[in-house]
Amino acid sequence: MRDIQHIEIPGHTLSVRVDPGPEREGRPALWPSVGEYPIYDPFLYTTMTTDDERNHRFRAALAHLAPDRRILDIGTGQDLLWAREGVQAGARHAVAIEVIEDAFHKAAANLPALESPDRITLLLGESTRLRFAPRADVCVAEIIGSLAGAEGAAAVLADARTRLLEPGGLVIPHRAVTLAAAVRLSDLLPEQPVAFAEAALPYLRSIFGWHGSPFDVRLRVENPPADALLSEGAPIEVLDFNGDLQTQQRTTTHLAITRSGLVDGVLTWLNLWCLPDEEPLDALSMKTNWATIYLPLFDSPVPVETGDVLELTFAAALSDDRVHPDYQLQAVLRTADGQQRRGSLISPHHGGAFRSHSLYRDLFPAG
């Protein structure tokens, strides 16, 4: 296989660096982050409907909260998964809404064969534009990203709580947190090039085609080796869906370096609670469809020693679509010998720079 391949989007032919190595279960792989774009296909839906680590948590929360209630399933997908499970768990009625037309039509075709189709109302569109009565008692919304808020969960669920849920209504999931740790990208992809998995190319094409032009997409790393982390992990983004839910946030955290190595960015991953008192799903250590996201901070790797500290400021603010967040990161690496190295990243949901960072110039070589 060639290690440079080309993708076509209207007005652009892009060169993309591709990993020529074999695709093997458990091998690290680099993908664009896909969940925050309306490009879901049957393959992506299947990775979710077969995610036991995720599904048993949503199922347990519905068994607890759905009986005799009216539920609202935001982002029901082609399989009407949580509307169907909610009704099976004893919900009186479920409103299920899906914004992707193709997924909606598949869901509409699936609906008549379900157990109690008359107890599910399926709608096409964005929940933020939906009006219906009576309001729901419980909202279930699996619109959680690998960066927890990237799919717009804060704005969508703040809106649902205000307009679509009864006062005191509850949201499933309960809480989502993004954690971060210092890493070097090439340590996440050991013995293989820093290059996209070949299977990821159609998704790059879909994301750029949807936006109309290429941009520096967030980078999803599947199966990163656990020993690649150079610091402890700490929360950088917190979404309390049944509490004080913020659509804009900024945190500064100090990541203590735990062993010597080279750092060029941070790896982030999801912790998710569907019910308040359960053990959270941890996307770093558990087998799940949520992967880790690598965010570059420095142009070239910086040596670190145990005891150095990476001060990381992480800010989320709504993009121009008023749903999906843009992220900004600033980093100060303070080493024991008193040196400071500064790094930063602007990571908009869509648009923004293309090939702004040397990493993206390598992934998308010019010409």
Ligand X SMILES: C[S@@+](CC[C@H](N)C(=O)[O-])C[C@H]1O[C@@H](n2cnc3c(N)ncnc32)[C@H](O)[C@@H]1O
β-partners of residue 124 are: 98
DSSP 18: B
Cβ proximity to ligand X, 48 vs 238, nearer residue: 48
* Interatomic CA distance for residues 175 and 274, integer angstroms: 7
Cβ proximity to ligand X, 96 vs 221, nearer residue: 96
If you write DSSP's letter for every residue of 202-261 in order, what string do you get? Answer: HHHHHHHHHHTS-----EEEES--GGG--B--EEEEEEETTS---SSEEEEEEEEB-S-E
Q: Which residues contact 225 (CB under 8 A, 6 or more apart)?
A: 28, 187, 188, 190
**Least separation, in Å, of the C-beta of 181 and ligand X?**
24
User: Peptide bond before 134: cis, by omega within 30 degrees of 0?
Assistant: yes
Sign of the dihedral defined by the CA atoms of residues 29, 34, 39, 44, in that order: positive
Cβ proximity to ligand X, 77 vs 233, nearer residue: 77
**Least separation, in Å, of the C-beta of 28 and ligand X?**
23
Q: Which residues bind ligand X (CB under 6 A)?
A: 35, 38, 40, 48-49, 74-77, 81-82, 97-100, 103, 126-128, 142-143, 152, 156
Cβ proximity to ligand X, 126 vs 311, nearer residue: 126
* Interatomic CA distance for residues 295 and 182, integer angstroms: 10
* Interatomic CA distance for residues 258 and 194, integer angstroms: 24
* Interatomic CA distance for residues 65 and 146, integer angstroms: 25
Which tokens belong to 36? 């925050």
**Least separation, in Å, of the C-beta of 220 and ligand X?**
14
Closest of 180, 153, 204, 194 to residue 271, by C-alpha: 180
**Least separation, in Å, of the C-beta of 111 and ligand X?**
14
User: Peptide bond before 173: cis, by omega within 30 degrees of 0?
Assistant: yes
Cβ proximity to ligand X, 81 vs 182, nearer residue: 81
**Least separation, in Å, of the C-beta of 137 and ligand X?**
19
**Least separation, in Å, of the C-beta of 35 and ligand X?**
6
Cβ proximity to ligand X, 54 vs 70, nearer residue: 54
Cβ proximity to ligand X, 57 vs 184, nearer residue: 57
Burial of 279 (0-12, 13-18, 19+ CB in 10 A): exposed
At 137, the amino acid letter reads D
Q: Which residue is nearest to ligand X (CB)?
A: 75
**Least separation, in Å, of the C-beta of 77 and ligand X?**
3
Asked if 207 and 34 count as a contact pair (C-beta separation under 8 A), the reply is: yes
**Least separation, in Å, of the C-beta of 188 and ligand X?**
23
Degrees, nearest 5: CA angle 102-103-105 = 65
Cβ proximity to ligand X, 103 vs 283, nearer residue: 103
If you write DSSP's letter for every residue of 274-297 in order, what string do you get? Answer: SSTTSPPEETTTS--S--EEEEE-
**Least separation, in Å, of the C-beta of 40 and ligand X?**
5
Cβ proximity to ligand X, 146 vs 347, nearer residue: 146
